[in-house]
Structure 1
C-alpha cells in the first residue's frame, strides 16, 4: 500500500513548511509538472466538449455568500471575513456564486443555452487542523469546476455528458471508480428547505445515471446544502473511500441570484445550474494518482517521460542530442550521465520513468536507441525518430499503454 504523503515527498512532488501553515502544501518542480499535465488535459477535454473558460476572484463580499446561501448553511467551513474599506470580504468556499454573477452580467438568450462555463480556480475551506493531511485534506484548493446554465429539458443530457467526460478521464488516468453515489439530503437544518426542488433535482440525476447505464447507491446526508449530487467515489490502498468527481443539479442559486434568459416565446425564464467537476480538486486527484500508481504515472502524466542513459562518456553527446530532440517534440526528458553511477544503478534510479533509452557505441553510430519500458520489456534498437514518434503518439492520445503494440484501441479510447 502506498501512502501519498510519504511517497510524494520521496519523489519530490510536494512538501510543507510550518511557516506556511497546516493544510497549505507547496508543489515542487516534478509535482508542478504532474499538476500542469493534469490541468491541461482537463482544459482541453472541456474545450472539446464546448466549455468556455473564465477566471474569477478568490475573494467576494460577505453579501455574495449571504445571497448564495453559503453564509447561512456553510459558514462553519469558511474563513472569517476580513474588513476592507468599510466592507467585509471573504475567501470563497466555492466558485459557483461567481459564475452565477458572470451569467447574469448581461442579457442571455435561449440560443446561448446550454452555456457551459469552466474554471480551474482557487477556493478555501477552514478545515480543522486535526483532519488535515497531505494533499487529501487541505485549506487552499484548486478545483476543476464548471457550471452549465441550461433549460430544464437540457439538464439530464448535460449531466449524462458530464458523466461521460468523467469516465473518459478515468480511463486516461488509469483509475477505476469504486462506486457511483447518489447523494441525498438527510435530517437536520443543513439543507435548503424546498422539498419540491429536491424531488425534481433527484429525479433528473437519477435519469442521467440510468441513461448512462451506471449502477449507483443512494445515500442520505451527503448532498450539497442546495441540491443532490452524483459523487464518483474512489478507494485508496487501505480501503478508505473519498469523492473525486461530482455532478450536481441546482435550482436554488439561479433563484437566489434571479438568473434569467429570454426564451423562444420572448418571455423571461429561469435557467437550471448543473455543477460538474471532472477530476475534483487537483490536490486530491494527484494524491489518489500517487497512491494508485505508486509514482509510476501514465506516460503522458509522468514528470520525466524519458531518461537517456549513455553507456559511457563517449555516448554522452548522443544522449544529450536525444534529450534535445525530445524537448523539441514536447516530451519531458533528461540525461542520466555516466558520472551518476553504473549503468545498472542509473537504470534503477530511473525505474519510474516510462522510457529508458540506453545508448551504447553501436546505437550512437547508427543514430538509434535501445528502449527499456518501465514494465521491464526491452525493444530492439530503433531509429530515434521512430521512438519519438511512438512515444509522442501515445502521450498525445493520453493512453495508459507504454507502447503501440500493446495499446490496442487504448489510444483512441483514452484520447481527449
Structure 2
C-alpha cells in the first residue's frame, strides 16, 4: 500500500514545515534539495536541447502589470495583497507569464526568431486558503517549471504537439505515467478574458493537438485567458491533481501589445503558448515520493552511494573511496558507527539509497569495493575505479 508523501517525505528527511514559517510554506531539507536540483538540471538540459532559452525574472511586479495582464481583474482572490513602496504597489507574482511577455517585448523580434521559447524555474505565490493546503500538493510558495513559447499562428499546432512529446519523455524519465489528459474549457460562469472567436480558435488548436489522445473535457477549468490541456495525476488516496499543462493565449499578447516583424515587413501579433512540463517542484515531488515510495531512480536519488567500512581499520580507505566518488560526480556519504547490519538497514530500508559500498580488509588490500544494490543484489567485488564509473553512469541525467 502506498504511503502518503506527507508522512514518507518527512521520514526520508526530504522536506518539513514549521509554524513560524507558516502554513503552505514547506522547506526543503538537504536530501530533498539534492533530489530537486537533479531534476531541475535534467529539465534545464532537456529544454535547452529542444530550443529553449532560460531566463530569471523577479518574483515581484507592479500591480499595473497584473492589471494589464488581466490577473488583477480575474485572479485577485488568489493573489497576495499589494505592498506599498513609495508611490508603487508591488505584488508577489501568481504566475510568470507577464514577466515573460515583457521579456519578449524588451527587444525587437522578427519572424525569423519564432518560435521563441523562454523557460524558467522560478517562484510564484498563491494566497491559498488554509482549508485547502496539504503537504506538497497544494502550497502557497511554488517553484514552477514554466515556459512560454511565442510563435506565429501557423506554428501553434506544431508547438503544442512538440510540448506533448517532450512531456511524455520527461515523465518517463522521472518514472511515472499520467492518470489522464483533460481539455479544460470555459464554463458558463466565471471570469474570462477575450472574445468568443479567440476562445473558439484556441480550443480548435488544442483539439487538433490532442488527436489520437484519450482525454476528458472539463468546462469551467480553463485559465481566465485561454483553454488548456491539463495532465492529471492521482495521489495515494485516489485524488486527482493537475501536474503539467499547455495553454494557448491570444489575450496577453494583445494586452501587452506584443508584435514581431513579419516576412513582408509589417507587424504581426504572436500567440503565447504557456507550458509546464512537470508542474511545480512541490506537487511533482509529492507525486514522485508516492510513486517510488522514496526509492527514487539513481539519477535523482538524494544520496546515490553510502560507503560502509567493516571496522575502524577500513575507515580511512572508505573515506578515500567516497571522496573519489564525489569528485566523479556521485552523491556519496560514509557511515562508520554501528553494526554493519544496522547501517545497511538504515541505508537501504530507511533512506532508500541505491548503492551500498562495503569496504573490508580484502577490499583495502586489493583496492576493491563490494557493491550491494538497493534491491538486495550483491555484485562481485570490483576495482574501486570501476565501481565509481558504474555508479556515475547510473546516476547520469537520462538524456
| TM-score in terms of structure 2 length | 0.97
1:193 is displaced (CA, Å) by 4.6
Match of 1:227 in 2: 226
Map of 1:37 onto structure 2: 38
| CA RMSD, Structure 1 to Structure 2 (Å) | 1.1
* Cα offset, 1:265, TM superposition: 0.7
Structure 1 contact 2–292 (Cα < 8 Å) conserved: no
Question: What is aligned with 1:165?
Answer: 166
CA distance in 2, matches of 1:259, 1:127: 31
Structure-2 residue corresponding to 1:14: 15
Q: What is the CA deviation profile of residues 47-83 of structure 1, one whole-angstrom value per residue up to 9, with x for unaligned ones?
A: 1111111111111111111110111111110111111
SS in 2 for 1:291: helix
Instruction: Give the match for residue 281 of structure 2.
Output: 282
Q: Secondary structure at the match of 1:300?
A: helix
Match of 1:369 in 2: 369
Q: Is the 8 A contact 2:261 2:268 kept in 1?
A: yes
Which shows bigger deviation, 384-393 or 16-25?
384-393
Q: How does 1:16-415 map to 2 (within 5 A)?
A: 16-210=17-211, 213-337=212-336, 340-351=337-348, 352-396=352-396, 398=397, 415=398
Q: Shift in Å at residue 205 of structure 1?
A: 1.4
Aligned equivalents of 2:369 and 2:208: distance in 1? 53
Could you list the runs of 4 or more consecutive aligned residues of structure 1 that deviate by over 2 angstroms after TM superposition? none
Matches of 2:270 and 2:132, distance apart in 1: 37
| Separation in 1, partners of 2:181, 2:190 | 26
- Contact 2:304/2:395 (8 A) holds in 1: no
Secondary structure of 1:126's aligned partner? coil
* Rounded Cα–Cα distance in structure 2 between residues aligned with 1:360 and 1:214: 55
For residues 225-265 of structure 1, give each alpha carbon's deviation from its aligned partner in whole angstroms, at most 9, with x where no partner exists: 11111111111121111111111111111111111000101
**1:111-135 CA-partner distances (Å, limit 9, x unpaired):** 1000000111111100001111211
CA contact (8 A) 2:194 2:251 kept: no
Q: How many residues align?
A: 395
Please report how far the alpha carbon of residue 287 of structure 1 lies from its aligned counterpart in structure 2 after TM superposition: 1.0
CA distance in 1, matches of 2:237, 2:244: 20
* Structure 1 SS opposite 2:225: coil
Gaps of 5+ in 1: 399-414
How far apart in 2 are the matches of 1:171 and 1:308? 30
Q: 1:411 is matched with which residue?
A: none
Q: Which moved more, 1:193-202 or 1:59-68?
A: 193-202
- Offset from partner CA, 1:375-399 (integer Å, 9 cap, x none): 1111111112222212222222x4x
Q: Is the 8 A contact 1:125 1:140 kept in 2?
A: yes
Range with bigger deviation, 213-222 or 48-57: 213-222
Show the counterpart of 1:409.
Answer: none
Q: 1: distance between equivalents of 2:255 and 2:193?
A: 12
Does 139-148 or 18-27 show the bigger shift?
A: 18-27
SS at match of 1:100: helix
Distance 2:215 2:366 in 1: 57
Question: CA shift at 1:292, angstroms?
Answer: 1.3
Tell me the distance in 2 between the aligned counterparts of 1:383 and 1:156: 53
Q: Bigger CA drift: 200-209 or 272-281?
A: 200-209
CA distance in 2: counterparts of 1:50 and 1:394, whole angstroms = 26
C-alpha distance in 2 between matches for 1:386 and 1:71: 58
Q: TM-score, normalised by structure 1?
A: 0.93
User: How far 1:332 moved relative to its partner?
Assistant: 0.4
Alignment partners' CA distance in 1, 2:375 and 2:214: 33
Tell which deviates more after alignment, 97-106 or 355-364.
355-364
CA contact (8 A) 2:190 2:220 kept: no
